[in-house]
C-alpha cells in the first residue's frame, strides 16, 4: 500500500535525522 510505504519512509527519515543530530551533538562535546 502506498500509504504504509510513505509512513515507513517518514519514520525512517525521522530516525535517521535523530541519529545524525545525536551524533553531531556528541562529537561537538
Higher pLDDT among residues 29 and 6, named by residue: 6
DSSP string over 1-28: -HHHHHHHHHHHHHHHHHHHHHHHHHHH
Higher pLDDT among residues 12 and 29, named by residue: 12
Mean pLDDT to the nearest integer, 6-21? 95
d(CA 17, CA 15): 5
Residue 1 has pLDDT above 80, yes or no: no
What CA–CA distances, in Å, run from 18 to 1, 2, 3, 6, 15? Answer: 26, 24, 23, 18, 5
Amino acid at each position: 500500500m502506498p500509504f504504509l510505504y510513505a509512513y515507513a519512509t517518514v519514520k525512517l527519515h525521522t530516525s535517521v535525522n535523530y541519529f545524525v543530530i545525536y551524533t553531531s551533538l556528541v562529537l561537538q562535546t
